[in-house]
Amino acid sequence: METTQRKTGFLAPWRNMLLWKQIVIALVLGIAVGVVLNITGNEAVAGTIKHIGTLFLSLIKMLIVPLIFVSLVCGMASVSDMARMGRIGLKSVVFYLCTTAFAISIGLLLGTLFQPGVGIDLGTAAAMEAKTPPPFVEQLIAIVPKNPIAAAADGKVLQIIFFAIMFGLSINLVGDAGKPIRDFFEALNSVILKLTEIVISFAPYGVFALMAWVAGTYGMDLLLPLGTIIAALYIGCILHAVFVYGGLVTFVSRLNPLRFFQGIVEPQIVAFTSTSSSGTLPVTITAVQKNLGVDRSVASFTLPLGATINMDGTAMYQGIAALFVAQAFGVELGMSEYITIILTSTLASIGTAGVPGAGLVMLSLVLTSVGLPLEGVAIIAGIDRILDMARTSLNVTGDAACTVVIAKSEGQLDFDAYNTPHVLEAPDLLKA
């Protein structure tokens, strides 16, 4: 009887719709509403609507620490082959570094073809001071938390990952004595996953609010003059996702790339609207495990690591932005400068991962490495939110691709789940 009422009720079509369809509809409606608000001069209304999106992001961020810690502890506690976990870690780092080098190369190519800096007047750009990340050795040492509780409170993902790995391994090594703790974390993990499903079901409303705010705040006045650099980045992100990630899934893992992209629709859209790889992590973990059949022991390790060190979208942005500044100032770059940009961006993608405003830090570092003036960053800063949406979505896509490829290579992929054309749905209690 309850099912019949759900099908015939006024809101039944919406409640029973697959989550990804709800999110896409909300995305389109949010843009439309935002454009209307901007044209009619009601930007303040867009700012008010943003509060709904902010609330959704807070719910997502609420899940990050417990989800990473609990799922990783469970995964490590169930590992019987330590050598396999070492292989997974090595494969992850190699994957992220190689795809980042591809991304920056694509960015340089598109920057050369589109020439986004030609015709841009930088005479009024404000000077900016270069920001340098902490030395890489210091960041490696900082991975070990002095206080795990403080690391969790501050959201320091790498420190949380390190402690969770050590804690999970310890549970595994003590044998039967650790069984009660292992059972407790397994039960806690089920609760956390159910909470994640509930929070994700509110994604359409958060996406609508965030897109309405973006479109209502920026409008077309800011986007049109710098449309070339926006177009170059968005095209680059699409090319990288389809040919690099899609190619790896197709030719390396011998999997259907269409199923891969269908299975990560939700995290892509949430990343696009939230501009936070870490904030999207709960959605990504759920989608990769449920939609693509990746074993938890792989997903709980590669995804948190990717959200921290994988910055393909940001690296591509560095290449396009560097050529933008060079063209705007009439600076000719040679092959040595191109190679320097590729190497600097690739290494900086890890070296600046834990630094707030990582995109700006990386760009300052890249421009300084080839002697380009930093004043051009002030122009790009005005559209940084629009650019950040595309590069964050690409980052999350790369995290998922790495996870699927590694899971397949390790025999930790459920092919029935992967090949089933489905996507996440809202929990039943919210559809009743």
pLDDT in tens, 224-277: 657 788 899 999 999 999 999 999 999 999 999 999 999 999 899 988 988 778
Rounded Cα gap, residues 84 and 80, in angstroms = 9
What distances in angstroms separate CA 271 from CA 52, 167, 264, one per listed residue?
Answer: 16, 30, 11
Residue 131 CB: number of other CB atoms within 10 A? 16
Q: Which amino acid is at 407?
A: A
User: Between 344 and 416, where is the model more confident?
Assistant: 416
Q: How confident is the model at residue 135 (pLDDT cuts 50, 70, 90)?
A: low
What distances in angstroms separate CA 174 from CA 70, 179, 183, 195, one per listed residue?
Answer: 18, 9, 14, 30
What distances in angstroms separate CA 410 from CA 88, 272, 331, 413, one per listed residue?
Answer: 8, 30, 48, 8
Q: Residue 320 is encoded by which pair of tokens? A: 């396009």
Q: How confident is the model at residue 35 (pLDDT cuts 50, 70, 90)?
A: confident
Output the CA torsion 421→424→426→432 (10° steps).
20
Rounded Cα gap, residues 84 and 22, in angstroms = 39
User: Taking the CA of residue 191 as centre, how many other CA atoms within 13 Å lie in the half-sphere pointing to its CB?
Assistant: 8
What distances in angstroms separate CA 167 from CA 65, 70, 164, 219, 281, one per listed residue?
Answer: 15, 10, 5, 49, 21
> Considering only CA atoms, which of 377, 348, 284, 304 is closest in space to residue 100?
348
Residue 159 CB: number of other CB atoms within 10 A? 21
Phi-psi category of residue 424: left, alpha or beta, with phi > 0 → left and psi -120 to 50 → alpha: beta
The answer to whether residue 3 scores a pLDDT higher than 50 is no
Give the per-residue pLDDT at 235: 95
> Considering only CA atoms, which of 322, 333, 308, 291 is closest in space to residue 395?
308
Rounded Cα gap, residues 25 and 272, in angstroms = 14
The answer to whether residue 427 scores a pLDDT higher than 60 is no
Burial class (CB in 10 A: 0-12, 13-18, 19+), 63: buried
Q: Which helix (H) or strand (E) holds 286?
A: helix 277-292
Taking residues 132-157, report their average pLDDT: 77
Average pLDDT across the chain, whole number: 80
Give the per-residue pLDDT at 398: 94
pLDDT tens digits for 53-86?
888 878 877 887 887 788 778 877 776 666 777 7
Taking residues 143-159, report their average pLDDT: 83
Phi-psi category of residue 38: left, alpha or beta, with phi > 0 → left and psi -120 to 50 → alpha: alpha
Domains of the chain plus CATH, in order, are 14-431 (1.10.3860.10)
> Considering only CA atoms, which of 218, 207, 215, 347 is closest in space to residue 279?
207
User: Between 84 and 139, where is the model more confident?
Assistant: 84
Give the per-residue pLDDT at 263: 92
Is the separation of the CB atoms in 318 and 107 below 8 Å? yes
Rounded Cα gap, residues 67 and 195, in angstroms = 10
Q: Residue 169 is encoded by which pair of tokens? A: 């391994």
Rounded Cα gap, residues 404 and 422, in angstroms = 16
Q: Residue 195 is encoded by which pair of tokens? A: 């909470």
CB contact set of 416 (below 8 Å; sequence gap of 6+): 293
Q: Residue 137 is encoded by which pair of tokens? A: 């050795």
Range with the poorest average pLDDT among 167-171, 258-262, 357-361: 357-361
Rounded Cα gap, residues 95 and 418, in angstroms = 21
What are the CB-based long-range contacts (under 8 Å, 24+) for 328-335?
A: 328/117, 328/118, 328/120, 328/122, 328/376, 328/379, 329/117, 329/122, 329/372, 329/373, 329/376, 331/371, 331/372, 333/370
User: Taking the CA of residue 50 as centre, how many other CA atoms within 13 Å lie in the half-sphere pointing to its CB?
Assistant: 15
Give the per-residue pLDDT at 418: 93
Taking residues 400-423, report their average pLDDT: 90
